[in-house]
Amino acid sequence: MHRIQQLAAEVLGQVESGRTLTEALAQAQRQSADLTAQERAALQDICYGSLRQLARLRFWLRRLVPKALPDAQLERVLQVAFYQLVYTRAADYAVVNEAVKLAERLARGKFKALVNGVLRNFLRQREEMLRLAQKDLEAATNHPRWWVKAIQQAYPQEWSSILEWNNSHPPMTLRVNVLKSTVAAYLAQLEALGMGATALDDASGILLDKPVNVRELPGFADGVVSVQDWGAQQAARLLDLHAGQRVLDACAAPGGKTCHMLEMADVEMTALDIDPQRLQRVAENLQRGGLHANLHAADAGQAADWWDGKPFDRILADVPCSASGVVRRHPDIKWLRRPGDFATLAAQQAQMVDTLWGLLAPGGKMLYATCSIFPEENQQQLAAFLARHADAECLNQQQLLPCERHDGFYYALLAKH
């Protein structure tokens, strides 16, 4: 167990230094190829869970060890152990013993007694520690204080439930490829395999009762079904697609929305992403679904580098954002973001949509999309855009908040006169 604790502590350290959880965990798993499937699952659970509960873990550490330890890695070992003691079924004695062994290895025994004492003290005071955490704003919500205040201001009625959903495990939702099956037919296949599921709509959305490995999904390898949040599925539906249209997906990776649009209508699709490696994910998803798009590794905001001069009938502007609506899938986001990030993101978003607007044909439609719930990136961005462009009209805007069925997304459908 101490090896899993060590890897998890190392992943937390990398996230604290600014790396994403996805990258840090992938590297840890690559470097530990001999881990069993059970060990890999345990590592993932501890890393995701520790970041979901990070404010609480830090709170307990400071209550029990008021001064920072000389070795930051030891602090992370204690945080991981706290998580295991409270949120997993691991035996208390095993967690403590393995953490002590790890401390002995990391600091040559210098802090062995301290780690042992802290964890045993925590076990004696566990109920009191849980009670005290509920009285601290950050520890109670497991979000940075500034984030809590911003959500309270934006959503005075819903703020508490938003933060609770952010700390929950995300649902697993599917998108049925309407070119190959139907929701009713696929539900029947799942039922025959003993997989519980619910239709979210008649078009393509299905919510699984329990997450499964994609390899267990019937027809997944053949593109019959894909994993895509139900909120994300709304993008293709809002764009009012028709056969023969020229369509641009401006920030396409990993390709879920690109494929969904091609499944809905026989359009001429151009898909961009600034990252060639991420664009490869788009290519793989297209191949799995038997779909075609013109792919370009390019910056959507630098049209001269890739645009052929022919205007588009539809544009999906899924712009870079804080990703504050998908925190439960990426719990590192709430710890990596800073209040000052929004000014930088707003400038990037404005520059991108202004450029893309110039590529849209008169009478065409552009969907401004984010996976954010902060007004600075959504309603305020829309108002500023409309003030800059007299030929733009907003036909529809939706702010989806995290809930049991979907993550947080924002959409604004714009028509060009």
Active site residues: 371
Residues pairing with 414 in the sheet: 366, 394
Q: Which residues contact 288 (CB under 8 A, 6 or more apart)?
A: 221, 222, 223
